[in-house]
Amino acid sequence: MGDIGNPILWLIGVLALGVVLFLVRGRFSAEARARRRREKSHRPVISRKKGPTVRLAVDVDKPRRDRNR
């Protein structure tokens, strides 16, 4: 049974490889990568930085200027 020339072992190996490839195919498709990228970009931001916070000089309460002038 442990012989490498045994066709039953080859058949089981090919079937197992086919099942693994079928299951992994969905993980690496372009659609799956795009879905993970969208999920990642919509997650809340959690800062792990220990130190002072950098504040930007932006006044969000002011209305935007018209850029067509």
Question: In a structure prediction context, what are the per-residue pLDDT tens digits for the chain, which is 69 residues long?
Answer: 557 778 888 899 999 999 999 988 878 888 888 887 777 766 666 667 777 777 777 766 767 666 665
Q: What is the pLDDT of residue 14?
A: 94
Q: What is the pLDDT of residue 66?
A: 63
| Closest residue by Cα to residue 34 from 45, 42, 22, 46 | 42
Q: What is the pLDDT of residue 5?
A: 79
Q: What is the pLDDT of residue 51?
A: 74
pTM: 0.43
